[in-house]
Amino acid sequence: MKKIKYANLFLFVLALVLSSCSNRKNEITITSGSLHLKINNKLYTQIFSDYSPDKKITNSFTPSEYIIADSGKITDFSLISPKEGNVKEGKRIWTITGKSKNNILKTLTVTLYDDFPDFIFTKVTYTNLSKKKITIDKWVNNDYIIPQKDSSEIIWSYQGATYEDRPDWVLQVKNGFNRKNYMGMNATDYGGGVPIVDIWNKDFGFAIGHVEKVPKLVSLPVVRNSKLGGTEVKIEYEKKIPLEHQKSLSTFTTFISTHKKDYFHTLKMFGKFMRERRGFRFNKPPEDAYEPIWCAWGYERGFTVNKVLGTLPEVKKLGYKWVVLDDGWQTAEGDWYLNPKKFPHGEKDMKKFVEKIHKQGLKAKLWWAPLAVDPGTDLIKKHPEMLLLNKDQKPEDITWWDSYYLCPAYGETLEYTKKLVRKFLQDWKFDGLKIDGQHLNGAPPCYNKLHHHKRPEESTEAMPNFFRTIYDEAEKINPNAVIEVCPCGTGYNFYMLPYLNQVVASDPVSSWQIRLKGKTFKALISPDAPYYGDHVELSDNKDDFASTIGVGGIIGTKFTWPVGVYLNNESGDVSLTKAKEKEWKKWINIYNKYQLPKGEYLGELYDIGFDKPETHVIKKNGNLFYAFYSKNFSGKVELRGLDKNSGYTLYDYVNNKKLKDLKKGEHKIKLDFKKYLLIEAIKKK
């Protein structure tokens, strides 16, 4: 019996290999789900997708993996031998080799995973077989041009890099578009991100990225122009690397993927891959991470303890659970001493302040900008060795705070940071941290000779471990501590996401940003990730709770009280007027009743770029919650995701109004609304 069983298994595996790889006319075809990669005898490639109307993603064979060296661009490699798929634990591997005229051996390793269809992973090794040393300036993987129908064709994209002007994470790629998407520093304190670009049209999408365990200083340029006849994407790594005889260079592991609709599927599968195949751990967030937030930033740095405490009765009355003490409590970034004008008796006053918050039945969160140290502080005087230095052995600027970087890869920095976490959470009794600053998304390479780094980029790669240090220390003190990281409008460094339990819209400039960021986090982390929509005063018209609630976000506000007590210099008067109090109370009641952040965000049902109106869906307790957004909309919409074997009652849960009963199989309705419409589809029993 066992022999028959193993024989059948062998035949099954053999069939998988043969169906996934063919070799005709010196062409190799490797298939993963709907994605097909063809490789010719020059090791050029062409890509096909079953989602594309004509099956093509690229028009012809082109050199997609190559190097640029002192001898020029090396793209052509004569095929030597393909070694077809080893099969092990759901993973299939092909090894294809070729040699260039100047005796560089190229070994292309292609890997497929049965549980990651539509993804193909590649890694390339270049070996110098010549007697002459060469210097490689750059390697390039996954260089493809996706042709366009014409120059007016609409192309949407997700681009994960961070820039000083804080662009949208999802944007159109128009003719003439050119963006490098460097994952290192694009300004003195702006860098890092998610190492993925994804572009899509109405028919299909295509994405590239890397799956290394730590951040890498790669670029993922996106270029569209008439000369190319389409949109070019690629992954490139610039670094001078000498290659002696018989020495080798290996690229990072990169991928290509295809999909329908928008970028959500790519990010969802990328997050899954990093968890299941790269060992990333995302802890279950505490219940407290889902509770609504009031932040004292309405008073800005001019807050007083009495103003904050005087607002707490109104905070409690409205139903908010968190109180955030924001920037301004400290004397300087780096020293983190208490401001004597606000806390004249030092730590004794701070402990009393937190105690008074707790007596109101509220939780307290403290603002903090780690890794930043101001010039002239005691920390620099006592520990100048902790500074991150550039090539000129000078401190690296964090321009936003007028401060310098501490090196995240230096042991003393980590120890100092752990002591601060213990002070905030253990001594002062705060329940959570609001970790703030765009400089936290990435760190420049460190050349401080005292740190004995093997490579300057160790500081860049150490950023995740820095956050892990904070997270682990906080968890030791309080397993329910809420660790929010707010990198000020930047694209979020994916590698720090396992070491926090609350993400945030992070200074959005529009309600559109609040919604698209929510969709992004629900893909990368989990469908029920605790995503804070930030202060509602940052949304359209400063009152758009609907955008946060509709995408499964946690609501928050920075109102001041009573009216006129503080005129905010940044965003005007944010006083809680009687009219606003009534509106704020309505929305927090809705939030508390439905608790949509704990539901399952269904991000693959609608395309955020092409579907009109913009639509988001959350599934909870068997019902579906639809959120529609448009300046003005009148027309029919398709309610995707409904159970075809069940009827539904449609209910406008903001205005407490029944809209319609749907019969089994009915899934289209006529809508008329302005700004938004939030509907619960209640499944009939």
The domains of the chain are located at: 2-276, 287-599, 614-683
**8 A C-beta contact, residue 551 and residue 605:** no
Q: How confident is the model at residue 1 (pLDDT cuts 50, 70, 90)?
A: very low
Comparing CA positions, the residue from 177, 186, 253 lying closest to residue 214 is 253
Q: Which two tokens stand for residue 658?
A: 């029944």
Residue type, 112: L
Q: What is the DSSP string of 286-301?
A: PGGGGS-EEEGGGGGG
Query: Rounded to a whole number, what is the distance in angstroms from the first to the last CA of the chain?
Result: 48
Averaged pLDDT, 257-283: 97
**8 A C-beta contact, residue 517 and residue 506:** yes
Q: Give the pLDDT of residue 148.
A: 93
Separation between Cα atoms, residue 158 and residue 145, nearest integer Å: 17
Separation between Cα atoms, residue 196 and residue 240, nearest integer Å: 24
Separation between Cα atoms, residue 476 and residue 633, nearest integer Å: 51
Q: Is the pLDDT of residue 23 over 60?
A: no
Comparing CA positions, the residue from 436, 438, 397, 370 lying closest to residue 161 is 438
3-class DSSP state of 635: strand
Separation between Cα atoms, residue 553 and residue 144, nearest integer Å: 36
Q: Give the pLDDT of residue 3.
A: 39
Weakest mean pLDDT among 3-7, 114-118, 375-379, 629-633: 3-7
Bridge partners of 635, per DSSP, are 671
Comparing CA positions, the residue from 273, 268, 172 lying closest to residue 603 is 268
Averaged pLDDT, 207-231: 97
**8 A C-beta contact, residue 278 and residue 210:** no
3-class DSSP state of 358: helix
Bridge partners of 364, per DSSP, are 323
- Residue 333 exposure: Cα atoms within 13 Å on the Cβ side: 23
Burial class (CB in 10 A: 0-12, 13-18, 19+), 203: middle
Q: Give the pLDDT of residue 376.
A: 96
The secondary structure of 166-197, three-state, reads CCCCEEECCCCCEECCECCEEECCEECEEEEE
Averaged pLDDT, 219-245: 96
Backbone angles phi, psi at 500, to 5 degrees: -155, 165
Q: How confident is the model at residue 20 (pLDDT cuts 50, 70, 90)?
A: very low
The superfamily (CATH) of domain 287-599 is: Aldolase class I (3.20.20.70)
Helix and strand numbers (H, E) in the chain are: 11, 39
Residue 207 CB partners (closer than 8 Å, separation 6+): 158, 196, 197, 198, 199, 255, 256, 257, 258, 259, 263, 266
Q: Give the pLDDT of residue 685.
A: 85
**8 A C-beta contact, residue 179 and residue 161:** yes
Q: What is the DSSP string of 648-666?
A: EEEEETTTTEEEEEE-TT-
Averaged pLDDT, 263-289: 97
Separation between Cα atoms, residue 413 and residue 391, nearest integer Å: 20
Q: Give the pLDDT of residue 25.
A: 60
Averaged pLDDT, 175-179: 96
Q: What are 391-424's pLDDT values in tens digits? A: 999 999 999 889 999 999 999 999 999 999 999 9
Edge-first strand listing for the sheet containing 503-504: 482-486, 432-436, 363-368, 322-325, 293-295, 553-557, 531-535, 503-504
Taking residue 386's Cβ as centre, other Cβ atoms within 10 Å add up to 25
H-helix segments, 375-439? 378-382, 411-422
Q: Which residue has the tokens 């409205």?
A: 318
For the chain, helix, strand, coil in percent to 5 are: 25, 35, 40
Residue 9 CB partners (closer than 8 Å, separation 6+): none
Q: Give the pLDDT of residue 4.
A: 38
Taking residue 681's Cβ as centre, other Cβ atoms within 10 Å add up to 26
Cis peptide before 498 (omega within 30 of 0): no
Q: Is the pLDDT of residue 564 over 90?
A: no
> Which CATH number applies to 2-276?
2.70.98.60
Q: Is the pLDDT of residue 13 over 50?
A: no
Q: Give the pLDDT of residue 88.
A: 78
**8 A C-beta contact, residue 603 and residue 519:** yes
Averaged pLDDT, 596-611: 98
Averaged pLDDT, 312-327: 98
Tell me which of 400 and 143 has the higher pLDDT.
Answer: 143
Q: Is the pLDDT of residue 611 over 50?
A: yes
Comparing CA positions, the residue from 489, 558, 485, 536 lying closest to residue 517 is 489
Q: Which two tokens stand for residue 603?
A: 């991000």
Backbone angles phi, psi at 517, to 5 degrees: -70, -40
Q: What are 77-111's pLDDT values in tens digits? A: 999 988 776 677 789 999 999 999 999 999 999 99
**From the candidate CATH numbers 2.60.40.1180, 3.50.50.60, 3.40.190.10, 1.20.58.1610, the one assigned to the domain spanning 614-683:** 2.60.40.1180
Q: What are 337-389's pLDDT values in tens digits? A: 999 999 999 999 999 999 999 999 999 999 999 999 999 999 999 999 999 99
Q: Give the pLDDT of residue 86.
A: 67
Separation between Cα atoms, residue 295 and residue 365, nearest integer Å: 9
Q: Is the pLDDT of residue 55 over 90?
A: yes
Q: How confident is the model at residue 26 (pLDDT cuts 50, 70, 90)?
A: confident
Q: Is the pLDDT of residue 2 over 60?
A: no
Separation between Cα atoms, residue 308 and residue 362, nearest integer Å: 13
Q: How confident is the model at residue 170 (pLDDT cuts 50, 70, 90)?
A: very high
